Amino acid sequence: MTNLLTYQVYEGVAVVSIDSPPVNALGIDVRQSIVEGFEQASTNADVHAIILACSGRTFFAGADIREFGTPAKPPILPEVIALIESSPKLTIAALHGTPLGGGLETALACHYRIAIAGTRMGLPEVKLGLLPGAGGTQKLPRLVGVPAALEIITSGRQIKASEALELGIIDRVCAGDDLLAEAINYARELVDQNAPRTLVLERNEKTAEHQGQTEIYDTFRAKNARRFRGFKSVENIIKAVQLAADLPYVQGLKRERELFTELQQSRDSLAQRHVFFAERESSKVPDIPKTTPVRPLQTVGIIGAGTMGGGIAMNFLNAGIPVTLLEQKQEALDQGIDVIRNNYQRSVKAGRMTKEVLEARLGLINPSLNYADLSSVDLIIEAVFETMEIKKAVFSSIDAVAKQGCILASNTSYLDLNEIASATSRPQDVIGLHFFSPANVMNLLEVVRGEHSDSDVINSGMRLAKTIGKTPVLSRVGWGFIANRVMKVRSFQTDNLILQGINPEIIDKVIYDYGFAMGPVAMKDLVGLDVLGRESKERTVESVLVEMERLGQKKNGGYYDYDQNRQKTLSAIAMEVIRNIAQEKGIEPVAADEEEILARLLYPIINEGAKVLDEGIALRSSDIDIACIKGYNWPVYKGGPMFWANSIGLKKVLEKLREFEQRFGSAFTPSPYLVRLVKDGKEF
Ligand code: CAA
């Protein structure tokens, strides 16, 4: 017997319980243990029912993702599932925690399922660029019908026990908190009633109505086209669900495996699996152990109720944490709170929030015009205008009122945090908490480590990110920190390409086709040309467009003209301005195909990432990937710039950068770190 298995028989009910921390992932040892348990129970004449359960924090949370890409060791999961299904006994899965992916598929092999309240189950493989490859696409439609299965598997969302019961995924929700005791009682009840032992794979009453239909899938594709764009796994999932309705189970299962294998070997899935682990890695700080204390976080003060401050506040309100929101003038304060209210109102209108919740969240705001009101909060976040003098003045005022032990955070995007901290008498309590716009939506939080920041302050910053549902990435102090710094070079190259006569529409197309939601030129128009060019003293395309009152989408159009439906067409006026500025600056037109445009826009990001690593600003290359994915919506199936660079081959990236350096100058000069990696035959 492996030491992961506990096997016990309680008056005719065998309990096969597995314990493999942290999440009972279905690795080889776990699979072997299930087989051992089932073999024992199935051959014991005194056993009438078998309960499959897990100890620890969750029922199996899926296949062991670390095993993907390594040779499969038998028994593979489909074999384990087939063994459970062939058991002559009545079988029940007892669920708690997060039965996900292969975990839920294992549960679907049992005749019945009971779950404790609070269980959240699902088939999240789409998030790893995969599909449920152990029968999930064939079984879920048999339980919940085709439309619900399409929605659940393509979204990968977690389903609460109560909804799972309604949908028919589980048969009972455990009333108390002793899952095992209730599962045993349930098993006895079922045995006593001689309850039917129908396997999910034998059922087809829910799929019959869609057999032979194609329209439902086409409609589903069309309705979600925008959301699904670029994700190859979604198409395979839709195909597999269709097979569940159209084919006998065994044939459908065989095709599901083929569709799964195709995805498992794809570069996209490799990238998404990289992102899965990168996201978990980014919250770890090597020199700050998890046991480092965390400072309390019961109340927060936010200085500045503008777009950023308001967005930041919403994160804490959503987490039930009261916010003292400070402004200089009543009018600005009222306006800021109105914006927050309107944002929530939109959620209410869309049915995602009740009016009561809206009022409860707004009720957590304590509006203030007085720094003294910040004297009792645990954390103060400054989100005021981005100039050093103002930031220092604000920090000096905070220092005068904040209680001992309060964390003092700046949301600065580019400024030197150490200089800001020097305006206080307690630089050890100062960190950067850099949110990305819109702050209530974007998932990235850069936690900036100042020269003097205490370990517990940094640890608290990393933890609070989790509290408000963000992914933290640690950054040292440096201009633009991580995400803004590396992405800024794309903006710079966009301007160069435009002036060299490359059509802005082509630039946008290249970036859109790569997988971003929007190209960089359209993005400029969205952000506002007046906002972008604020610091520039030079005469640029944007400064001229702003002089002409062309501010972008918000006023008169920018690079593009916009109709009432926000449909855009390239502006003849903007093209004229581009030609004039190029002439003034003596810039000659350059021809470039789409591949070259892409390389000119994105390879400098890789290069800048190499510099960020070399300077020790980021801890690891995967943190840069996470920063770009979570802060700038870099397509997740490319794995972020650094992973993408590895998949292209660093040698090729370096050669291209050298070629561009020759043709266009020092903006492309390769980072010495990149050069070293290539020389040593290494990757990021
Ligand atoms: N395989 C291997 N390791 C896993 C894992 C998995 N399926 N799921 C989680 N882990 C590891 C994490 O990497 C992490 O390790 P470290 O502590 O070393 O960083 C640890 O378990 C804890 O994970 P989290 O930090 O994410 O803990 P959490 O409590 O926040 O979340 C969870 C737990 C909801 C299970 C989350 O980890 C998760 O979503 N896991 C992935 C679930 C999943 O995608 N399952 C499907 C797998 S694919 C599949 O099953 C294919 C198939 O059909 C055969």
Which CATH number does the domain housing residue 164 bear?
3.90.226.10
Asked if 128 and 248 sit in the same domain, the reply is yes
Residue 587 has pLDDT above 60, yes or no: yes
Residue 378 has pLDDT above 90, yes or no: yes
State if residue 156 touches ligand 1 by the CB under 6 angstroms criterion.
Answer: no
Per-residue pLDDT band at 571 (split at 50, 70, 90)? very high
Q: What is residue 537's predicted lDDT score, i.e. its pLDDT?
A: 77
Q: Which residue has the tokens 């070399």?
A: 614
Which residue, among 400, 415, 403, 395, has the nearest Cα to 379 in the 3D structure? 403
To the query of whether residue 85 is one of the catalytic residues in this protein, the response is: no
Per-residue pLDDT band at 70 (split at 50, 70, 90)? confident
Distance from the CA of 61 to the center of ligand 1, in angstroms?
Answer: 6
Distance from the CA of 66 to the center of ligand 1, in angstroms?
Answer: 10
Per-residue pLDDT band at 530 (split at 50, 70, 90)? confident
Asked if 522 and 600 sit in the same domain, the reply is no
Active-site entry in 11, 105, 419, 505: 105
Q: Is the alpha carbon torsion for 271, 277, 283, 286 positive or negative?
A: negative
Contact 167/159 with Cβ under 8 angstroms? yes
Q: Which ligand 1 atom is nearest residue 133's CA? A: 53
Query: How many domains, the chain?
Result: 5
Q: Which ligand 1 atom is nearest residue 61's CA? A: 35
CA–CA separation, 247 vs 138, rounded Å?
9
State if residue 101 touches ligand 1 by the CB under 6 angstroms criterion.
Answer: yes
Q: Which residues contact 24 (CB under 8 A, 6 or more apart)?
A: 18, 30, 54, 56, 58, 59, 60, 61, 103
Residue 369 has pLDDT above 90, yes or no: yes
User: DSSP state, 266?
Assistant: S
State if residue 61 touches ligand 1 by the CB under 6 angstroms criterion.
Answer: yes
Active-site entry in 85, 125, 389, 594: 125
Distance from the CA of 64 to the center of ligand 1, in angstroms?
Answer: 8
Asked if 319 and 462 sit in the same domain, the reply is yes
Mean pLDDT of 613-642: 98
Asked if 77 and 192 sit in the same domain, the reply is yes
State if residue 311 touches ligand 1 by the CB under 6 angstroms criterion.
Answer: no
Q: What is the 3-state secondary structure (H, E, C) of 448-486?
A: EECCCCCHHHHHHHHHHHHHCCCEEEEEECCCCCCHHHH
User: DSSP state, 234?
Assistant: H
Residue 511, in any domain of the structure: no
**CB-based burial of residue 192 (10 Å sphere; 0-12 exposed, 13-18 middle, 19+ buried)?**
exposed
Residue 508, in any domain of the structure: no
Give the domain extent around 438. 300-477
Tokens of 70: 């390594």
Asked if 434 and 492 sit in the same domain, the reply is no
Mean pLDDT of 360-379: 97
Asked if 318 and 225 sit in the same domain, the reply is no
Asked if 424 and 339 sit in the same domain, the reply is yes
Q: What is residue 2's predicted lDDT score, i.e. its pLDDT?
A: 63
Mean pLDDT of 382-406: 96
Asked if 141 and 182 sit in the same domain, the reply is no
CA–CA separation, 676 vs 157, rounded Å?
43
Distance from the CA of 65 to the center of ligand 1, in angstroms?
Answer: 8
Which residue, among 424, 326, 419, 307, has the nearest Cα to 366 in the 3D structure? 326
Mean pLDDT of 306-313: 95
Residue 410, in any domain of the structure: yes
Asked if 192 and 96 sit in the same domain, the reply is yes
Asked if 129 and 117 sit in the same domain, the reply is no
Residue 483 phi, psi dihedral angles, 5° rounding: -60, -50
Residue 331, in any domain of the structure: yes
Residue 201, in any domain of the structure: no
Q: What is residue 422's predicted lDDT score, i.e. its pLDDT?
A: 97
Residue 295, in any domain of the structure: no
Q: What is residue 290's predicted lDDT score, i.e. its pLDDT?
A: 85
CA–CA separation, 617 vs 611, rounded Å?
9
Distance from the CA of 23 to the center of ligand 1, in angstroms?
Answer: 7
Tokens of 676: 């070293």
Q: Name which of 63-72, 77-86, 383-392 the model is least confident about.
A: 63-72
Q: What is residue 175's predicted lDDT score, i.e. its pLDDT?
A: 87
Residue 333 has pLDDT above 60, yes or no: yes
What CATH number has the domain bearing residue 560?
A: 1.10.1040.10
Distance from the CA of 45 to the center of ligand 1, in angstroms?
Answer: 37
Cα 676 versus chain centre, distance: 32
Asked if 183 and 232 sit in the same domain, the reply is no
Mean pLDDT of 257-286: 96
Q: What is residue 29's predicted lDDT score, i.e. its pLDDT?
A: 97
Nearest residue CA, atom 35 of ligand 1? 61
Residue 45, in any domain of the structure: yes
State if residue 290 touches ligand 1 by the CB under 6 angstroms criterion.
Answer: no
Per-residue pLDDT band at 584 (split at 50, 70, 90)? very high
Mean pLDDT of 215-230: 96
Q: Are strands 13-18 and 49-54 parallel, antiparallel or unpaired?
A: parallel
To the query of whether residue 327 is one of the catalytic residues in this protein, the response is: no
Nearest residue CA, atom 10 of ligand 1? 23
Average pLDDT, the chain: 96
Residue 135 has pLDDT above 90, yes or no: yes
Residue 386, in any domain of the structure: yes
